[in-house]
Structure 1
């Protein structure tokens, strides 16, 4: 799924390729997006034939930039969603709350390291954005949550580098 989305976004952002830093900008933007995050950014970087080191740095920075803002604002956003007159926002809040509460015991049991592992395993539905939402719902200390999310991103980025530049580069 991430590969298809990354390919689609690279195609949609093709106009940026005319810029001298267009490939890098595409990877950066994709890495900032929820769902795709650095996983999608590294896949895009591989497809765009960027060097692994350059790709790694750009994707990691792109994925990290939204996290402090999310950690600061997510509780207000979630509260507004819960109180919203729009049923879609209420349903989204309920969905997120149920999903997180289902895994609450596991994450709380392992605390900091539970969040690191959750963010660090590159599976659908895991990642920095989801990690920030989990930290907010569980009322984790923001500084500790940010550190845990960053460590998880480092872990996920290493795994994705191996997949994107090791496996994908030989297939694509």
Structure 2
């Protein structure tokens, strides 16, 4: 029974970290609040949040190309592109370093999902984009783990 509880706890953390918007910014505090070791939580959340990245990088551009044929979807795509370009202007300016920093700074509407969309829109090479997102995600995990551990110690 303890092993099943362990697996389900790990799965919950992986799943939460893979969700858009929440990502590891919500997964790490959740895991630490459940009593998980902070390093273990950070590693699981990095893995969980990186799970969707290859799929996003490989399939976003072809997906948008197919959907572009539908006028309502085309308007949604234009809105998404404009929103991403506004939020990610430093990515365009600083290229991969900008992508690393964009993913690393733990603010709302930054992270691996938005970074992957930006990388696809700005035509970054998939390998380079994945590495930049991974590095940024490790930095974000370090910051969130530190802040979550600090908050847990003060409670």
Same fold, judged at TM 0.5 (above)? yes
Instruction: Tell me how far apart the structure 1 counterparts of residues 6 and 135 of structure 2 sit (CA, whole Å).
Output: 31
Deviation at 1:47, TM superposition (A): 1.7
Q: Deviations over 1:72-130 (max 9, x none)?
A: 00112222343335x3x444322211112335653222111000000000000000011
> Does residue 30 of structure 1 match 2:29?
no
Q: Is 1:97 matched with 2:86?
A: no
Is the CA contact (8 Å cut-off) linking 1:60 and 1:157 kept in structure 2? yes
1:35-91 C-alpha deviation (Å, 9 max, x unpaired): 111111102102211111210111011111111111000112222343335x3x444
- TM-score, length-scaled by structure 1: 0.81
Partner of 1:130: 114
Alignment of 1:107-118 (within 5 A): 107-118=91-102
Task: Kindly indicate whether the alpha-carbon contact (under 8 Å) linking 1:81 and 1:92 is maintained by their aligned counterparts in 2.
Answer: no
Contact 2:84-2:114 at 8 Å conserved across structures = no
The unaligned stretches of length 5 or more in structure 2 are none
Q: 1:22 to 1:83 in 2, by over 3 A?
A: same
SS in 1 for 2:147: helix
Matched, 1:47 2:70: no
- Could you tell me the TM-score, scaled by structure 2's length? 0.89
Deviates more, 1:161-170 or 1:148-157: 161-170
Tell me the number of residue pairs that the alignment of Structure 1 and Structure 2 aligns.
Answer: 153
Q: Tell me, which stretches of 5 or more residues in structure 1 are unaligned? A: 1-17
Q: Is the 8 A contact 1:30 1:41 kept in 2?
A: yes
Residue of structure 2 aligned with 1:139, choices 123, 128, 139: 123
